[in-house]
Amino acid sequence: MIPGDRCVPWLSVLPKAWYMRPLKYAVRFNPEVLSEDTDPDELIRYVDISAVNPEGEIEHTEELRFSGAPSRARRVVRHGDVIVSTVRTYLTAIGAIRQDGLTVSTGFAVLRPAEETDSRFLAYWMRSEYIVEEIVARSTGVSYPSINPSEIGQLPIPILGLQQQGMIADFLDRETAAIDCLVGKQNRLVSSLIDKRQAVICQFVTRGLNPTAILAPSGVEWLGEVPKHWEACRIASVFREASDVGEDGLPILTVSIHDGVSDRQLDDEELERKFIRIEDSSKYKKVIPSDLVYNMMRAWQGGFGAVVVSGLVSPAYVVARPRRPMVTKFIELLLRTPAAIEEMRCHSYGVADFRLRLYWDYFKTLRVALPPLAEQREIVEAAQRETESTDALIKVIELQNEKLAEYRSALISAAVTGQIDIRTYRPQEAAALCQ
């Protein structure tokens, strides 16, 4: 037993028959590393810290030649090992290895369980709320908090029989699988709701709100037929490029591929993360409500939107200003349809997707179809109602998933500290939800 361990609140809940030892006596730390003499052409399957999700699963690996792999790709792991992130510990990247032939970042500590330690129990113990809190608390640094592996070795682990460890691991395998199954269903529902919303809005902006409207060829290949009374035109006939010089006192706005143009200035931390801030406001472009703004490099991914408040945008953005009264949000919604995105990609230039740029001279040649002004407004309002309805449903699902994640974490912590008698535990039919 670790001296004074019962004085630590979360250790005092352990069954009296259990005793504690420092983790370093139950595992071997970083037992294997790739030698610098490794054949340069040897292929390795590399796992970086970002590849481990919050549930401890490895989402993807990279196959690299040793000579082209990052210098941090050095720790060899095998089936049964447990990896714990020692850098950016707020990510709680803690995973169980279920296969051989992987190499992980030196940002992980590799824990190889001794003979008297069940690897699955070890993984669950390391993912318990108590251990995660201890790792975070013992980490140093602000932006990239890290912990010395020797500190991890001082953390306690309960000593109990292999059979009992296995029973606890079997229990948690079963219960967490049921929870994960339900979360998976919820996530698929969110995806279907988003797809449905996109399809409905696409119908609104290409066919209008009247299902009995007479359709006619638009003359725009990517649009096909549109309501007969809509006007087909080029972007250049309804927008002109604007390059007004920025002014002091206006908020700095950003353009998102998901949400369009922001309606407020982001806080300093968000701004620093998204782009380099320029102190001289005159270096920005001024935008006003009804302008259309797009990021030349991200337009084909949806990096554009309608402006709703006066502000400043990056000088690298293109600003298009209406030549006549119109609801610019309608154009934004139209250009977010899959066919329009593909059309913009085709008009973008570059040697690779990540280098594609949509210049104004090509953007202005795009052809669109516009309904009358009043109808534009009605369509935008209908799209807004559809968005709000879908977002409300998604919010409910996300809250449910948060509660399930909290329950999953609490269940793991309770089981590995002996607070649950797994012999008499009766789950609330969680598995039935996955049938």
Question: Under a CB-based contact definition with an 8 Å cutoff, are residues 104 and 138 in contact?
Answer: no
Distance (Å, whole) CA 370 – CA 375: 9
Can you list the residues of the chain whose pLDDT is less than 50? 1-7, 429-435
Q: Do domains 5-160 and 211-370 have the same CATH topology?
A: yes
Question: Under a CB-based contact definition with an 8 Å cutoff, are residues 356 and 297 in contact?
Answer: yes
Question: Under a CB-based contact definition with an 8 Å cutoff, are residues 146 and 88 in contact?
Answer: yes
With a CB cutoff of 8 Å and minimum separation 6, the contacts of 265 are 251, 252, 253, 271, 311
The CATH number corresponding to 5-160 among 3.90.220.20, 3.40.630.10, 3.40.50.300, 1.10.10.10 equals 3.90.220.20
Question: Under a CB-based contact definition with an 8 Å cutoff, are residues 385 and 377 in contact?
Answer: no
In single-letter form, the type of residue at position 403 comes to K
Question: Under a CB-based contact definition with an 8 Å cutoff, are residues 430 and 178 in contact?
Answer: yes
Distance (Å, whole) CA 372 – CA 90: 52
With a CB cutoff of 8 Å and minimum separation 6, the contacts of 295 are 255, 303, 304, 314, 316, 317
Task: Report helix, strand or coil for 403.
Answer: helix
Q: Which residues pair with 312 in a beta bridge?
A: 252, 286
Q: In the chain, what are the domain boundaries?
A: 5-160, 161-189+204-208+373-435, 211-370
Alpha helices, H only, 33-128:
119-126
In single-letter form, the type of residue at position 138 comes to R
Distance (Å, whole) CA 416 – CA 128: 8
In single-letter form, the type of residue at position 349 comes to Y
Q: Where are the beta strands (DSSP E) in 178-290?
A: 215-217, 225-227, 231-234, 239-242, 255-256, 260-261, 285-287
211-370: which CATH topology? Adenine-n6-DNA-methyltransferase TaqI; Chain A, domain 2 (3.90.220)
Distance (Å, whole) CA 139 – CA 312: 39
Task: Report helix, strand or coil for 412.
Answer: helix
With a CB cutoff of 8 Å and minimum separation 6, the contacts of 115 are none
3-state DSSP of 413-426: HHHHCCCCCCCCCC
Exposed, middle or buried: residue 34 (CB in 10 Å: 0-12, 13-18, 19+)? middle
pLDDT of 218 reads 92
pLDDT of 112 reads 93
pLDDT of 351 reads 59
The total number of residues written for the chain in this structure: 435
pTM of the model: 0.80
Interior angle at CA 60, CA 171 and CA 434, nearest 5: 40
| Cα first-last separation, the chain | 44
